Structure 1
Amino acid sequence: MRVQAATWADTKDRDNDQCARCSTRYSLTHQHRRAVGMGGSPTPPSIVDSLTLCFDCNGRCERDLQTIALAYGWKVRRWVGDPGRVPVFYPHLHGWARLTKGGEALRIHATEAAQMMREVYGPEWDQWCAEAGVRTPERK
Structure 2
Amino acid sequence: MNVHCPHHNSLKSRENEVGDIIECQANASERKFLLDEAFQSMTIDAEGNEQAGINASTDTCWQKKGSGRAYNSLSGVASLIGEKTGKIVHHTLRISSCRICRNAQKKGRPPIPHNCKKKLVRDSKGHGTRHGSTVGEGCT
Shorter-chain TM-score range:
under 0.3
Larger strand percent: 2
Q: Which has the higher contact order (CA 8 A, sep 6+)?
A: 1
Q: TM-score, normalised by structure 1?
A: 0.26
Q: TM-score, normalised by structure 2?
A: 0.26
Larger radius of gyration: 2
